[in-house]
Structure formats: C-alpha cells, structure tokens
Structure 1
Amino acid sequence: MIPKIVRRGLPLLPLALLSGCNTVVMNPTGDIAKQQADLITISVLLMLIIIVPVMILTVLFAWRYRKGANAKYEPDWDHSTKLELVIWGAPLLIIIVLGLITWVSTHKLDPYRPLDRIDEHRPIPASTKPLEVQVVALDWKWLFIYPEQGIASVNELVTPVDVPIRFKITSSTVMNTFYIPTLAGMIYAMPGMETTLNAVLNKPGDYKGLSANFSGEGFSHMHFGYKGVSAGEFDAWVAKMKTNPGVLDRADYLNLEKPSVREPVRYYGQVETALFNRVLNRCVAEGSVCMNEQMARDHKRNEVAAAVRKLPKDGAGAQIAGLEVCEIPEAAAVAGATNNISVKK
C-alpha cells in the first residue's frame, strides 16, 4: 500500500526530474565550468556503484527475510571471505580512483594556472594574450576595470567568446565570492589580497554572476549581468565605452565604495591609472600609505636593524646600536661608512 502523501507526489516526479535538465552548473558554456561539471558527474557515477547495490539489497533482504518467508536459518554463520572482499574492496577502489581524479583535476583546474585550451578540441595558440579584467567587490555591487582598454563598468561584465580571460580579484571591505556559474567555479575576493581566475567562455549569450558569500544587508542583490559577445562586438562595445564621459578617479571611487543596494549599471570611459593597485593596497584616499610601500619600508628597516645588531659594541658600533628605530636610516649610513656594511635599499 503506497502512503497517501507519496501518491500525491508521484505526478510531480517527472517535473522534478525535468527541472534539473537545464541547470547552469551542469550545462555551462565555459570550458573550465564544463570540466568541473564533468567531475561532478564522474563522482556521482562512481558513488552510485555503491549506493545502487545497497538500495537494491536493502529491499531484497527485507523481502527475503520477511516474517513467514521460507528463508534458510543459519544462526552460526559469521564470516564470508568473498563478501568481505566485495564490502571492503569496492569502496577502496572507488576511493583510489576518486583520489587520482582529484589530484589531477586540482592541478589542471587551478584558477591561477594559465589556460592551455579554448575547449576540448582547440588548444590556445602560444601567442594568445588573455584579456585582463580587474574585479573589485564593493558593498553591495561589483566593479569591473579593463586596464588595457582604460574603461570600467559597475554590475555589468562583457567579454569576447573563445578568448582567455584573466580576472584579478580583490574586495574593498569584507570577503565576498566571485561566481559566474556558466564560466568557472567560485573564487574569493578579499580586502588587501589579490586572487586570480583564468577562464574562457565558449558561447555568446546573456548570463548572470553573483556573490556566493554572505556579506551583509545587501548581499541578496549583489549580482551582475554577464554578456558573452563576439570579438567584433566586443571591440565595438569598447569603442562605445570610450565615448562615455564618466571618469573613474580616486574621488569617484570613494563615493562608489559607499554601501548601496540595487546599484544600477554604470559605465566609465576613463579610469585613473593604477586605481586597482590602490584599492588592493588600501590607499585610495589622499595621504594614505599603500600597504606594499609600508611593507617594503618595514622590510628595509628590519634588514638595517639586523645589520646594526651585528656591529661590535665599541666605538662607532656602540653609538649606532644605541639609535632609536626611527633613526635606523641614519644608522645605516654611519654603519656603511665606518664598518663597510652593505644594506639593500
């Protein structure tokens, strides 16, 4: 007897099965995402080698040893070498195969690894230069900078098909996840850090991207449009963008950086040089010190301090060793003159 709730759900089963036929994750248009989808399929099929027999045997055992069945009763049975080999051997082999696939795919699909093919039938020519796109996750919107073209856009990404794309990704405040399901897997955008994603789109169309990491009030609206176009259409789009009067400089960026929800698409025909590096090093505001510059100074200061500590504690050496940290550059000059110590600058 089939329970009533199950009978009611049976007519919906075909719709539930069909609803997954056109999912973006399993039917992507980017080569990297396609390889990742193949990994999911292979992993599921390998696991079904265990799951399906277990489900069948569960029903078979329940039927075979049901009350009143004419089953052989063997209370002293406790071991079967053949059964043990199947129970332990099959999962072990599957784990080994999954381990090998994981090892190979982890290196092959490393987001930092430059692409070696456009798709499974076309390798990338050695002379091909990827399109660089700088991505900044803002609260709660996305900024895309095309450094070679000198343009930028908010909440809209346009790239040509069959052209390798190298995304350089960071965040202005908190951690987000840059994710275009049809193109490639997720990769984090973190403040003060740069992550890289190499990918390629193989089919023109209108797609969607989003943040897959909760980042506050406007997270649910932090998505953007992604357009895949032909090379000619991309060139025409760039030319049109260059005619836009909008200029993205440091002052405009600081206004754009302020939290906002449902930010409309905007375009900038010009972008201040090295703006992304300033965002990355958290020194967009006037008068702020860039992190990379501060770290370089600290490194130099530490090198000089180490050299000073090695000086003899008599004469000029004692005088230099007694200098304060803020006077380390002067200590380096004196140390170099009196003891012939070489310090990297």
Structure 2
Amino acid sequence: YLLNLINDVLQVTKMESYEISLDEAPYNIKNLADDIKNSFEYQADKNGNTLHLNFDKNIPNSLIGDQVRLSQIFINLISNANKFTKNGNIWLNFINPVIIDNRVKITFEIKDDGRGIPIDKQELIFDKFSQADSKDHTTGTGLGLNIVKKLVNLHGGDIQIKSSPGEGSNFYFTISFEIDASNKESNITNNKTKDCIPLLNEEEYTILVVEDNKINQIVTQNVLKTKGFRSQIADDGLIAIEMAKTNSYDLILMDLNMPNMGGMEATKIIREFDPNIPIIALTASDTQDTVQAILNPSSGFSDFLRKPYKNQEFFSKIESNLNGTISKAS
C-alpha cells in the first residue's frame, strides 16, 4: 500500500510540476487491447469476474500516439472495476469509430456490474485522495482516478461516469488519434509482428541483463525470449563486471540504480576491459541531468531506454545496437 501510494504521489507530482508531452509513435491498438485483457484475466478470475473485450472491427489497427500512457488509463480503470466487483462482469469496449481524413475518434468504455458509486460521490472521486467510501483507503491510494482524469485530458478527452449503487459503473471517454497511413497492412489485419531492424538469427545472441528487481528480471527475460534472444541475469553492477570478464556477451542492458554498485560506475569499469560491447542504460528517471549523464561520451553507454519501455522500442534499440557492432547477421 505504501509503495503504491508513493508511486502514485510521484506520478501526480510529475504531472503537475511540469508539462508532460505524449509520445508520438506508431503502435497496434488491437494488440494493446488484447494484451491488457490477457494481463488482467488472472486478477479478474481471483474475484470471480469475467473480463470481456469488445473491439469494433472498423477501428484502424495501426495508430500514432502514446500507447504506454493510454494503457495506464485502462489499467487503472480495470483495476478499480475488479476491486469493487465480485462474481460479476467487466467490459473493456473500444467502440464507435469516426474516421475523418487521417484521424479516428474512438469511444472507450470500462464497465462493470459491481457495487456502483453514489451520485453525490461521482464528481469527488476524480479529486486527489478521494474515494467513494472511507473504508477503501485500506486497499487504495485515492489517486488512481485523478491520474486517469489527467491522462485522458492530456489526450484531449474528458472522462465521464454513469453509475448507480448496486447497478455497476461505466467510465467512458472519447479520444482522437492519427491513423498510421504508412502501415496499411496492419490497419486491415491484426498483425502482431513488431517492426524492428531484422537480425538473421536472434538465438545466436546472448544478452546480460543487469537488474536488481526480481520482477523486472523475469519480465525482461521473458520479453527477450519472445524474440529468441538468450539472456543471463546479474543482480548488481559488481556481479555484472565479473560476469562480463568471464563470459562473452553481445549486449548488456544496464539498470542505473542498484545496491552494491550502480550502473554508471559498473559501465565505466567494463569499458576498461571491453570498449566495444553495446551497453544500453535502463532508467526510470525523466530528469535532464540523468539523460545528459548517460549521453556524455565518458559514461560508456551506447544508448538508453526509459522505463516503462514499449516492446517495439525495446527491440529496435537492441537490434540497432547489435547491428552497429560486428553483427552476426552480416
């Protein structure tokens, strides 16, 4: 609970202290919808709930925008719906597309048949640290819906709610997106192939993942495995140095903040005995000082990725750095 509170407070503070701009990158919104549904099915099942996805077939699959922040909206709303619904249903609806020129307006609904929200609380729930029931503070931070409202506004939309006690809730909003005209094939079919710089055989490459967080280790290794990359784990910078000395790796993914030794110091030491291996910094920091420190030639980093990263960007960075060295694909 405390960790969630701190993370949410940092998110709200970041959004209020300076203007956050949305990323503009192509992504497949049908894949995004499927991924969100799949990731919540276990959580929904624990509460006896069934999660339904309705995706209008007339929505172009390939859009341009910020899929990470769009996903965060759905994640917060589905989490809320699941928390306050027992042995019921939750619907994630992508509906009513309106296409004009190269843009599409899509209406999104996150509905449930749970306990519902009293009418006199419906405006307040979007305020910071506000919840419909004071007892809910034991299971949430009271910031999720405030974050959702800010993110929807950032996309140019306005979130609304229809709800009655005992009859469930419906959160809905409409957002306009630019259609990715360069990817016509994925606008017709559900193409799950990510666009990356091709390598002949990813299984020939071994990547060292330097990361102290156990969950991040598992997630990163599983993501790499989907492309066929082999990987090994180092829990901190000191271990990474010893592993890099005694093993042959094609690329290193280096977290910055770790116990015993951080990524900055470890990278400089690795460069003393291996000046050529690509080392990509992984950082959750948005501060200009951190980015400048990474980009400084003396840092030893070849590139960097901000967490949370998109899989398409993740693989693109890896493969471009592998191709930038003496590639096994050549």
Per the shorter chain, which TM-score range? under 0.3
TM-score by length of 2: 0.21
TM-score by length of 1: 0.20
